[in-house]
Structure 1
Amino acid sequence: MMTDVLVAHSSDVEKASFYKKTYLHVAFAILAFIGVETVLLNIVPEQLILAMFAQRYLWLLIIGVFWLASFLATKWSLSQSKSTQYLGLGFYVLLEAVIFLPLIYIAVVYAGGSVIFQAATLTVAMFAGISAVAFTSKRDFSFLRNIITIGGFIAIGLIVAGMIFGFNLGLWFSVGMVILASATILYQTSKLKDAYVTDQYVGASLQLFASIMLLFWYILSILMSRRS
């Protein structure tokens, strides 16, 4: 059994260590994502990448597998075994790289690689700002949980409907998803101390990484739509 206590009930030194390890793992996950994505772009055939977007039922299947696999990765990342935790985080990084593959490819080929750098810069800036608000504000952001849950189900429903019936969700949907991802980061950051014990920094980093990637996806989508 794990003997660690909640971060909220730990000493200041333990809290600082937990936060440091969590954000270091987020950074490592992002670097690993970049590395895996680069490899995939170089080894996966162009026809297969384009087919992921062109065939909406295939993309729907990919999305479904991604969601199911992400639950498994999250469960692993919160395991008592440290090796299983890292397996979960690594598996999730691979999942994100696969799901991002067609979007990154289209961004590079049709919108120019600079748009990826711009989206990444905006994502990091927004994440840093939101995290600062969460750490410095004394407000209770627990009210965001229901909003995020309801918004997430609505978003999934719209995405699935768009894939099945073949309509474009448009710019305002992407803007809404940026807001939803930002709210999720704010909520997750503010709840770090209450949701995890001091040895679960790998699981905490996975949750933050997932929200960062969601934010990056829709910021990149918005920037690409402005260039099309």
Structure 2
Amino acid sequence: MADRKILVVEDHKDTRELLKYNLTHNGFEVAAESDGASGLERAKTFQPDLILLDLMLPGMDGLDVCRRVKQSSELSHIPVIMLTAKGEEIDRIVGLELGADDYVVKPFSPRELILRIKAIMRRSADKPSKTPNVWERDGLSIDFEAHQLTVDGEPAMLTATEFKLLTELVTGRGKVQTRDHLLDTVWDTHFEGYSRTVDTHVRRLRQKLGPYAEWVETVRGVGYRFRA
């Protein structure tokens, strides 16, 4: 895990320094910014392996930063952990629906946070198992190593989470994937009561699949299945 890069975007100086200290002592290279606009620009130049993003930031807030990261072709692959004092359910749901990979509520345990960071980085580095490098059918092509979806010859821009979801559905095609299973495998954790974030990501994935959207079938009351 040494030399992996983390960008901290946090406006509270003491929290920012605490994060920098703990991350550095765990072998990470750390860059830090105190506002959203600066954090977004630093992400482009620093190209971190993960972003720790506070929600309540001056100017551009954390949700807006997350949205722009996940819409950017050069940044969308970077995992994001939302770090905030706001613990209400709606804030967690919004963060996850924007593409955040995890959500940690302050006050937090630095040890637990480090474990979550390592789990997300490990998951991001994993290659899809028991799959070919490229899967193709009709006008749909998925390059698992390049993390690239092509629809009728045109590349479709997926966030890292959307691509993980697509990979899970395609590699398990023909089988029903429950929402709980998808939360556990795609997000690498279980968000109690947040199954609606799976529905949101599936809806966005279908939009990007275009004419092949119907290949992701809804199994009412259970979950989803990619047509075999």
In terms of fraction of residues, the more helix-rich structure is 1
Shorter-chain TM range is under 0.3
RCO (CA 8 Å, sep 6+): is it higher in 1 or 2?
A: 1
The normalised TM-score by structure 1 is 0.28
The normalised TM-score by structure 2 is 0.28
In terms of fraction of residues, the more strand-rich structure is 2
